[in-house]
Amino acid sequence: MDWDRLRVFHIVAQAGSLTEAGHALGVSQSAVSRQVSSLEKSIGVMLFNRHARGLVLTEQGDHLFKITREIFAQVNAISAVISESKDGLSGSLKVATTVGIGSVWFASRLNRFMQTYPKLQLNIHLTDGDVDFTMREADVAINYRQALPMDYVVQKELGIIRMGVYASKEYVQNFGIPRVAEELDNHRIVAFGESELSPVGNASWLLRFGAKPGVMRVPYLSINNAYGMLQAVKGGVGVAILADFMAADHDDLIELFQDAQTPTMPMYYTYPKSLDGLGRIRALYEFMKLELEKKSKK
C-alpha cells in the first residue's frame, strides 16, 4: 500500500473535505481526489461516501482511519524521541492549551521553565477546541476536556480548579458590593457566551445563583472566551465567575461570596501514549503540578 496515498487518505478523513485536505497538503482538490480514488482502486473498496456537503467514511474507511491514526502517532513519536538529546532536554515541544490558561496564567510562568531547560523549544498553541494528536497539532494538551476515546492517549489530572465570583475594585466603587446572592439581580453580570465552549459544566451558574426558582438572569455582557471575561471584569464592566488560579494574579479583583459552593473542574494534562516516558513531556507536567500547588498554598 502506497505511503503517500495513505497520508492523503488520513488528511482527507480528518478534514472531511477534499478542498480542506488540499489546503493542508498544498495541492489542488483534483490532485487529492485522484490520490483517494487510486487508493480505493488499489485495495478494492470504497473508503468514502460522497455527498454534496462533503465526505463521510464508509465502514471500511473508518477502520482504515483508526489504523492510520495509530501509524502517524507512532511516526510523530519516533521523531520526538530521536530529537531528544542525551545530555539534557532539547528539541521541540508543542503545547496546546486554552486561550484563558495560556494567555492569562501559563505564559507569565514560562520563563522559569525555559531557564531550567534552555535547550528546549516551546511552541504554544492557544485553542478552546479539541486537539488532534495524530495530525501533530500538539504533543501535549492542557485543558479541562476529558479525552475520548482514551485508547491512545495518557491523561493525568493536574488539579481541581475552583471557580469564584469576582468584581474589580473599580466596579465595587461604582456599583457597590452584592452582600447576598439575591442582590445580583441588580448587578451587571458578565457571562460565558457559548456554553459548548465553556470550561465550566454549568456555564449559566452565576445567572441562576440566588435568582428566583425557574428564573435565569440576563447577562449584561456575554463573551465566549475566559481571557475576554477576565479583561472585562478588570475593566469594571461587571461581575463574573472566573477560575481562581487566573484571578489570583490580579490585585485589582475582589472575590465575592467566598463561602458559596461554586463550580469546580479538573485540569487535565493529555498526551499520546506513544510519547509516554519522553523527558520533555514529564518535565512540563512536573512544572505545571508545582505551579498549581503554589497557587493552592497561597
Looking at residue 154, which CATH number applies to its domain? 3.40.190.10
pLDDT tens digits for range 172-218: 999 999 999 999 999 999 998 765 555 555 678 999 999 999 899 99
Question: Is there a single domain that holds both residue 147 and residue 275?
Answer: yes
Question: Is there a single domain that holds both residue 201 and residue 241?
Answer: yes
pLDDT tens digits for range 58-104: 999 888 988 887 777 777 666 656 555 545 677 788 999 998 899 88
Question: Is there a single domain that holds both residue 112 and residue 192?
Answer: no
The burial class, CB within 10 Å (0-12 / 13-18 / 19+), for 138 is buried
Query: Residue 102, Cβ neighbours under 10 Å: how many?
Result: 21
pLDDT at 235 over 70: yes
Per the structure, how many domains does the chain have? 3
Question: Is there a single domain that holds both residue 98 and residue 127?
Answer: yes
What DSSP string runs through 156-198? EEEEEEEEEEEEEHHHHHHH----SGGGGGGS-BEEES-GGG-
Question: Is there a single domain that holds both residue 9 and residue 61?
Answer: yes
Q: 0.85 cut: is pTM over it?
A: no
| Whole-angstrom distance, CA of residue 280 vs CA of residue 123 | 13
Question: Is there a single domain that holds both residue 106 and residue 221?
Answer: no
Question: Is there a single domain that holds both residue 178 and residue 257?
Answer: yes
Question: Is there a single domain that holds both residue 50 and residue 170?
Answer: no
pLDDT tens digits for range 12-39: 888 888 888 888 888 988 898 899 899 8
Boundary of a domain, candidates 74, 99, 130: 74
**Would you call the peptide bond into 199 cis, given omega within 30 degrees of 0 as the criterion?**
no
Average pLDDT score over residue span 121-146: 86
Question: Is there a single domain that holds both residue 155 and residue 168?
Answer: no
Cα diameter, the chain: 73
Grid coordinates given for 180: 447576598
Expressed as residue numbers, the domain containing 8 is 3-74
Average per-residue pLDDT for the chain: 86
Task: Judge whether 142 and 158 are in contact, CB under 8 Å.
Answer: yes
Boundary of a domain, candidates 74, 89, 104: 74
**Cα angle: 158, vertex 163, 169; to 5 degrees:** 130
Question: Is there a single domain that holds both residue 146 and residue 285?
Answer: yes
Q: Which of 259, 280, 262 is nearest to 271 (CA)?
A: 280
The residues near 15 (Cβ < 8 Å, ≥ 6 apart) are 21, 24
Question: Is there a single domain that holds both residue 137 and residue 152?
Answer: yes
Three-class DSSP category at 217: coil
What DSSP string runs through 224-258? S-HHHHHHHHHTTS-BEEEEHHHHTT-TTEEEE-T
Boundary of a domain, candidates 18, 42, 74: 74
